[in-house]
Amino acid sequence: MGTFVYSSSCLSWKNNLSRQVISSHLVVPHGVTEKGCSRIKAAACSKEDVHVSQDCEKSGGSLNRRSTIVSGVSLISSVLLGFPGEGSAVVKQGLLAGRVPGLSEPDEEGWRTYRRPDDKSGGHGVGWSPIIPYAFSVPDNWEEVPVSIADLGGTEIDLRFANPKEGRISVVVAPVKRFSDEIGEEATIEQIGPPDKVISAFGPEVIGESVEGKVLRAEVAEHSGRKYYQFELEPPHVMITATAAGNRLYLFNVTGNGLQWKKYYKDLRKIAESFRVV
């Protein structure tokens, strides 16, 4: 088991990533218009007062830059990994983004395979190509968790799964151009960097803090000619599987609290190692 530390060779890349994290996570949610009036707020105003624009204009003024930054910083890890409070935050954030069932029937061991449906929405912006599907396995009692189009974790969170008693999953699908202009349309994880550089750069984006001294395990697996970097971190308890396909980076994150980690570790690791881009 090795522990990776930061090196000077990746400082400029990390600085660029930090700026991207700020832009991805600390902005005002999409539900807020330029004048500060959210669609949710506007709907409420229309029922309570005919002077919608005046009320919304006043309420938007209170959403200043300081409060946005403070709330954004505190949500980086809690929203992505799904720490306490996640459920209510996600469910209340508006319309769902193209949820389409993708679970198979249980196999003889009671496990289901989720495959991202080809027609599921989630292009993440103008000019992006369709997402290459991915798949993973979960026990029969795990379910998809709604991801809002205004998810505070950012538009790059493509999917969430969870079992309240066992743990949580999040899938991040990000454009490789966010990290390097030199990577083409057929990216590989090796082009993005070696395992130590990848976890040093992207680990903080997943857990919301430095990964120095937290990497318990780092392995490289290969399936159907594609490399997968597999990491285990503590604290917090999280396993990250990273790979690349097309023009996307995929981060598959499996996490749980201390009790879940102790009781369901074998299943959580099986979930983490089942991730494939198909």
User: What CATH number corresponds to the domain at position 187?
Assistant: 3.40.1000.10
Most confident of 24-38, 151-165, 256-270: 256-270
Residue 257 lies in a domain: yes
Residue 107: Cβ within 10 Å count:
11
pLDDT at 106: 94
pLDDT of residue 152: 59
Span between the terminal Cα atoms of the chain, in Å: 29
- pLDDT (0 to 100) of residue 70: 36
pLDDT value at residue 178: 79
Q: Are 165 and 262 in contact (CB under 8 A)?
A: no
Q: Which residue has the higher pLDDT, 191 or 179?
A: 191
Stated as kind and residue range, the H or E segment containing 14 is helix 11-25
Question: What is the pLDDT, as a whole number, of residue 142?
Answer: 96
In terms of pLDDT, which residue wins out, 277 or 31? 277
3-state SS assignment for residue 158: strand
Which band of pLDDT confidence, cut at 50, 70 and 90, is reported for residue 241? very high
Domain count, the chain: 1
- Give the residue carrying structure tokens 């990746």: 10
Sign of CA dihedral 258, 262, 264, 265: positive
* Overall residue count recorded for the chain in this entry: 278
pLDDT recorded at residue 114: 97
Nearest residue to 187 (alpha-carbon basis) of 246, 140, 266: 246
Please, are residues 226 and 277 in contact by the beta-carbon 8 Å criterion? yes
Q: What is the dihedral of CA 118, 119, 121, 126, to 10 degrees?
A: 80
Report whether pLDDT(45) > 70.
no
CA angle 103, 229, 123 (to 5 degrees): 50
Structural domain for 231, as ranges: 111-277
**218 domain-assigned:** yes
What average pLDDT does range 114-140 have in this prediction? 80
Residue 47 has pLDDT above 60, yes or no: no
Question: Rg (Cα) of the chain, in Å, rounded?
Answer: 19
The per-residue pLDDT for 130 is: 81
Query: What element of type H or E holds 16?
Result: helix 11-25
Q: Which residue has the higher pLDDT, 142 or 7?
A: 142
The pair of structure tokens assigned to 26 is: 């600390």
Residue 48, pLDDT above cutoff 70: no
Indicate the Cα dihedral angle 201, 239, 76, 27, nearest 10°.
70
| Structural domain contains residue 216 | yes
Query: Has residue 63 been placed in a domain?
Result: no
Q: Decide if 122 is inside a domain.
A: yes
Residue 102 lies in a domain: no
- Has residue 76 been placed in a domain? no
pLDDT of residue 81: 67
Q: Does a structural domain hold residue 265?
A: yes
> Given this model, what pLDDT does residue 93 score?
34
With a CB cutoff of 8 Å and minimum separation 6, the contacts of 253 are 80, 81, 169, 170, 171, 172, 206, 238, 239, 240
Give 52-94 pLDDT, tens digit per residue.
344 444 444 433 433 433 334 334 455 566 544 444 333 333 3
pLDDT higher than 90, residue 37: no
State yes or no: pLDDT of 274 exceeds 50: yes
Alpha-carbon distance of 153 to 171, in angstroms, equals 11
Average pLDDT, the chain: 73
**CA separation (Å) from 198 to 118, 120, 190, 272?**
28, 28, 9, 17
Strands 167-175 and 276-277: unpaired
